[in-house]
Every structure is written in structure tokens, then in C-alpha cells.
Amino acid sequence: MLPGLTRNIPLCEVMDRTQVEMIDNAAMDILENVGVQFRDPIALEDWKKAGAKVDDELVYLDRNMVRELISTIPAQFTYHARNPANNVKLGGKHSVFVPMTGAPFLRDLDDVRRNPLLEDLAMFHKLAHMMPALHSSAHHIVEPYDHPISQRHLRITYSSMKYSDKMFMGMTTSPRNAEDVMDMCDILFGEGFIDEHPVTTGNCNGNSPLVWDETMLGAMRAFCRRNQPVLCSPFVLGGANTPASVAAAVAQLTAEALSALAYTQVIRKGTPAIWGHYLSTVSMKSGAPMAGTPEISLMNFMIGQMARFYDVPWRTSNTLGGAKTFDAQAGYESATTLSAVVHAGANYIWHSAGWNEAGMHCSVAKFVVDAEQCAMAYRMAEGPKWHDFDQAIAAVPDVGPGGHYLGHPHTQENFQQAFFMPELFDNNSIEQWQAEGSVEITERALTHAKKLLAEYQEPKLDEAKNEELLDYIAHREREIPAVEELNQIY
């Protein structure tokens, strides 16, 4: 695995200081005068104890209180993986690429769109483990339909832990499910370790405009009490649940994110938390969400500036698109988003591999190509290399006018590292491409995925921990009724 990305290129900032302060002031005005709805009695009681004004389910937050609370969020922290060699820093200049999650369908190794099974999820976890630029195995990359919804989180978490020794995400589909994830992390890392060391990430989506619900807030408490980071993620459909204005949408989103970030510190002061969001604009023709639009790039640039203004890490979504197959639309949309989020300085770069059809399916072919694109973006974001500048310049008089560098000792020693060499893109002549079967990118990517899976070597779990995890899953599956709805009770 590549180390976590440390960016060494300038950030793209599209607001001046006055405009940043305009967004901040508008967000604080929303928090103070419009309020945020917390649909959860425990959260409402917590806010009352913290000194906030609470009217029914509406919480009004004074700007000074918000600033004081978010000031205790770590600007940077380290994720601890099962394999310590895969630990990664997050925050500031430090970023990670994380695969997509949540797809109800997949396009498989034969490029057939179908319902996924647990073995398909394991396949994606194996691929994530094998791809150097992916820093996480995520969690439910695809939904395993062969397991009941009420128990599914257990098998998903185990698969994330078993088939990769990188960091992973934890399910937040209910407060009880989130507690199960914490229990399984205790088994994997040892009792008490996670109380001091971030090992996983939970995502808590807001209901824009200006609502946080009981399920997400309960899951947030389960993670924050154990010192595990959560992504506080307003769900933006620009023009539908935000104003039809980039700047005003960012102001509303800022208020929503800050209210949740502040609540993480009410739960546990100093717990890591990440400013999250999901961004999409809405087609006014069909109502469908759109990805890869210029407004999404602008919002990412602006959110990056706001997160740095408040000195908190931030999450974004990567390689998004609405294409139904792995076609030119998929490539263009994903490339637009990838370039924007890297230049925006995002830290937790989620949905970085496989996303297609507005998240409805994860494509094996796109997964491996996206991962290679992340590796290329990683190389760009590192900036130019200067370590061998003197030796390289010394080759110029050696070669002289009209010569070539192919046989020069410096070229022979450095050509493999000097320039990125993509495995999946074909740059040969059309005659050679035709002679080799005219293989297009989807077929080439699927062949590569099959090769990776054939070469995969499982990073073995400690046998005692593996048995304890399986015993825990069996115990919880006896307790939780096997039904097609989320477990909220057992």
C-alpha cells in the first residue's frame, strides 16, 4: 500500500477572506436564528445540559458556543490499521482514498449487472487490499443480499476485517449496529485500544435542510464515546434541499455540518470528527441527481476553505457519476470530480473506486481503473521530485544537441520511477492494438481484476481473534431476529 497521501501542490481556493467570512456569518446566523432540528430526545437533553437553547426539537446554537466546541476537534490524527505498516495520518496535508460503499447492485467480473452476495463483497475487499492507492477496505461496498438486513452489518464488518489489513469503515445503520461494530473492534484490536486510537470511521448523514435524526445521532454517540471518528455529512441535492445558489448551499451545508461537529464534542471532548458532505446538483428536467458538474467542483473548493477556516479535517466524495455502464460519461464525470477534490485539499476522499449509476451499482472494471486513477492523482499531488535534479541536469551536456537520453546512465537508473506507467491504459499504435485483439478498457480492466484476485494472498487474522469474532457473530445472530429491516432493538 502507498503511504497516506501528503499533498505538496497548491490548493485551489475560490473565495477571498471576505467571502469566507460571509459564509461563516451566514452559517452562524442560521444556527442562532433558524435552528437545527435534532429528532432525538437524548441529543436534545445533551444540548440543554451544554447550555444551548432548545425549543421542542429545534436547537439554537450560539456562535461562540459552536466555535468553542469545535476547537477541541483534532486537526490531525492517525488511523491505526490491523497491520501497523498500514497506519495513515488524516488532516492538514494528509489524505486517504477510500472505495465506494452502499451499492445495491454490482457489475461483476463478466460485466453483468446483478444483486450482490457476501462473496462479491469479499471480492471487493480483496481488490481494495490489493490496490496500492486505496487506504481502506471500506465496509458495505455492495449489499450482500444473501444475508438478512437485520444481521447484515455483522458479516460486512467481519469481511472488512478479514480480507484486508488496512483500515476500514464501521456500519452506522442503527445505534445498536454501531455498538456491535465497536464490540468487534474491541476483539480485533484488544480491549480498550480503540478508546485511545482511531481504527474505523462511521458516517452519519444529515437530512438536509437542517435535520439530524435519531438513528444517525445514536450511531454517532456509539462511535464518539469510544473515540472513533465520524463523518458529519449533510446530504446536499443542490436546488432541491438547498437554495439554488452555490454560495448559499455551502452556507446551509456549513451550518448543518457545524451543528453535528459541535455535538460530537458534547458527546466526548476531543474525539476525532470529520466535516462530511455528499454533494449533488439536481436536474430541473427530471429531478435526477447529477455528478461531475462544475458547481460540485466549486462547492468542494469552497468547503475545503471553510474546513481549513475552522481547522477540522474534511471528507468529500470522489469519482461520482450517473453513467449506466463504464463508458466515456463515467470516465469524464469521475475525472472531473477526482481532479477537483485533490486540488480542493480533501482529507477523507470517499467513494474513490467503483461508483456508477449514481451509486446504484459498483463496477468491478471501474473499481480497478478508478484505483489506478487515484494512484495517478496521488503522484501528481506529491508534487515534483527534486532529489536527483543535479544528476539529471548533468546528463544534458553529456547528451548534447540532437542526441537522446535513452541510453544515458541516469535514464537507465531512474526511468521506472521518473514517470507514472499506467497498467490499464493502452498507448500502443492502433496496428499493435488491433493485432492484440482490439481490447477496450472494460475488458482489459476485468482481466486485470481477475489477475489480482488470482494473486491475492489473505492477510491472516490471528486465529484466536478470528474465532472470537466468529463466536461473537454467531451469538449476535442468535439474538437478532433474521428479518428484512434494520436492527434497532436487539
Q: What is the mean pLDDT of the chain?
A: 97
Nearest to 99 by CA among 350, 449, 369, 374: 350
**Confidence at residue 362, expressed as pLDDT on a 0 to 100 scale:** 99
**Confidence at residue 125, expressed as pLDDT on a 0 to 100 scale:** 99
Other C-beta atoms closer than 10 Å to the C-beta of 46 total: 19
Instruction: Out of 9-13, 288-292, 457-461, pick the least confident.
Output: 288-292
What is the tens place of the pLDDT at every residue in 257-295?
999 999 999 999 999 999 999 999 888 788 888 888 999
**Confidence at residue 292, expressed as pLDDT on a 0 to 100 scale:** 85
Q: What angle do CA 458, 460, 465 make, to 5 degrees?
A: 140
- Give the pLDDT band (50/70/90) at residue 426: very high
Does residue 32 carry a pLDDT above 90? yes
* % of the chain exceeding 90 in pLDDT: 95
**Helix, strand or coil for residue 201?**
strand
- H and E: helices and strands count for the chain: 16, 21
Q: What is the pTM of this model?
A: 0.97
Measured CA to CA, the distance from residue 139 to residue 237 in angstroms comes to 24
**Confidence at residue 259, expressed as pLDDT on a 0 to 100 scale:** 99
What is the tens place of the pLDDT at every residue in 134-171?
999 999 999 999 999 999 999 999 999 999 999 999 99
**Confidence at residue 312, expressed as pLDDT on a 0 to 100 scale:** 99
What is the tens place of the pLDDT at every residue in 220-246?
999 999 999 999 999 999 989 999 999
Nearest to 22 by CA among 283, 273, 302: 302
What is the tens place of the pLDDT at every residue in 351-382?
999 999 999 999 999 999 999 999 999 999 99
Measured CA to CA, the distance from residue 307 to residue 24 in angstroms comes to 11
**Helix, strand or coil for residue 349?**
strand
- Give the chain's domains with CATH numbers: 5-14+71-381 (3.20.20.480), 389-418 (no CATH)
**Cα–Cα distances in angstroms (integers) from residue 332 to residues 77, 131, 321, 388, 476, in the given order:** 33, 22, 9, 35, 44
What is the enclosing helix (H) or strand (E) of 490? none
Does residue 422 carry a pLDDT above 90? yes
What is the tens place of the pLDDT at every residue in 48-75?
999 999 999 999 999 999 999 999 999 9
Does residue 2 carry a pLDDT above 90? yes
Question: Residue 329 class from Cβ within 10 Å (0-12 exposed, 13-18 middle, 19+ buried)?
Answer: middle
Does residue 440 carry a pLDDT above 90? yes
Measured CA to CA, the distance from residue 71 to residue 65 in angstroms comes to 10
What is the enclosing helix (H) or strand (E) of 2? none
Higher pLDDT, 290 or 197: 197
For 207, phi and psi rounded to 5 degrees?
Answer: -105, 90
Other C-beta atoms closer than 10 Å to the C-beta of 452 total: 17
Contact 69, 259 (CB under 8 A): no
Measured CA to CA, the distance from residue 393 to residue 421 in angstroms comes to 23
List all residues 6 or more positions away from 51 whose beta carbon is below 8 Å from its beta carbon: 65
Which residue type, as a one-letter code, is found at position 291? Answer: A
